[in-house]
Amino acid sequence: MALSNMLRSPYRDLEKALGYRFRRRAWLEMALTHPSFRHETQGAATDNQRLEFLGDAVLGLVVADHLFAVHATADEGALTDLRSSITNTRALARVAQAIALGQHLRLGHGEQQSGGARRTTTLADALEAVLGAAFRDGGLKAVQKIFRHLFQPLFEQPAPAWAGNPKGALQELFQKSWKSNPVYRVTRESGPAHERTYTMDVLRGAEVIGTGTGVSKRAAAVEAARHALERLRATPPGA
């Protein structure tokens, strides 16, 4: 009986980790299907890209609603930066790693061989797709349930002092430690004109110390600064 239940529910462990059981597991399977699998597999008609788009929007709404309620005096800029700290690619990938999401991904052979199941962007995209699938399966309540189970504990961890203004904190650190300023450089622009995504590096001299991605240059710079501060915190100035 236990074996037959496992066969009927191949994603039982993942659903337990998510804190949500899908009523229609076809949505979850679609969320776990990387485009490389669809391209290489005859009869595979869909992948997770559309669900990723939906999940990104739904997660943004749920996180924004939580921050709006909890941080009653924070202004728009601070709320935007806090939301980014939870929904940026690296943060999503860390959550995905914590629930072993990569083990469940359906990847093409080449993507699997190149380590796609551990790739930060692949994991982050898949987690967004899972949230999109949950929305299609159970509506906003389903996404909120996963949010409370996976994401809300992140809010309960002590935030670093620079969480609300990483660019300002990085600027201050540069002035104090190296008597110079960080340099931000756009390295990539993608997407249509009305929906651009920017990738930006922040440099200390010629060394790239942080990278960020966002829907505006400002958001990408904030994320790059946050990444740099995380790295510098692990490796103190002068080390």
Question: How many C-beta atoms surround the C-beta of residue 38 within 10 A?
Answer: 18
Confidence tier at 2 by pLDDT (50, 70, 90) = very low
Question: What would the pLDDT profile of 98-144 be if each residue is shown by its tens digit?
Answer: 999 999 999 998 888 888 888 888 999 999 999 999 999 999 999 99
Across 7-11, 30-34, 104-108, 126-130, least confident range: 7-11
Residue 172 catalytic? no
Indicate whether 26 pLDDT > 90.
yes
Q: Spot the catalytic one: 52, 128, 137, 223.
A: 128
Share of the chain above pLDDT 70, in %: 89
Per the prediction, the chain carries an average pLDDT of: 86
Between 144 and 222, where is the model more confident? 144
To the question of domain 166-234 being in CATH 3.30.160.20, the answer is yes
Selection from 97, 100, 123 nearest residue 111 by Cα? 123
Residue 157's pLDDT is 56
pLDDT at 163: 61
- 141-175 residue pLDDT tens: 999 999 999 987 766 655 556 566 889 889 999 99
Options 56, 111, 137, 201, the catalytic residue:
56
Residue 1: per-residue pLDDT: 39
- Exposed, middle or buried: residue 163 (CB in 10 Å: 0-12, 13-18, 19+)? middle
CATH of domain 8-156: 1.10.1520.10
Q: Verify whether residue 56 is a known catalytic residue.
A: yes
Q: What are the extents of the domains in the chain?
A: 8-156, 166-234
Quickly state the pLDDT bin for 195 (edges 50, 70, 90). confident
Q: Please state which of the ranges 26-35, 113-122, 198-207, 228-237 shows the lowest mean pLDDT.
A: 228-237
Q: What HEC string does the chain produce? A: CHHHHHHHCCCHHHHHHHCCCCCCHHHHHHHCECHHHHHHCCCCCCCCHHHHHHHHHHHHHHHHHHHHHHCCCCCHHHHHHHHHHHHCHHHHHHHHHHCCHHHHCECCHHHHHCCHHHCHHHHHHHHHHHHHHHHHHHHHHHHHHHHHHHHHHHHHCCCCCCCCCHHHHHHHHHHHHHCCCCEEEEEEEECCHHHCEEEEEEEECCEEEEEEEECCHHHHHHHHHHHHHHHHHHCCCCC
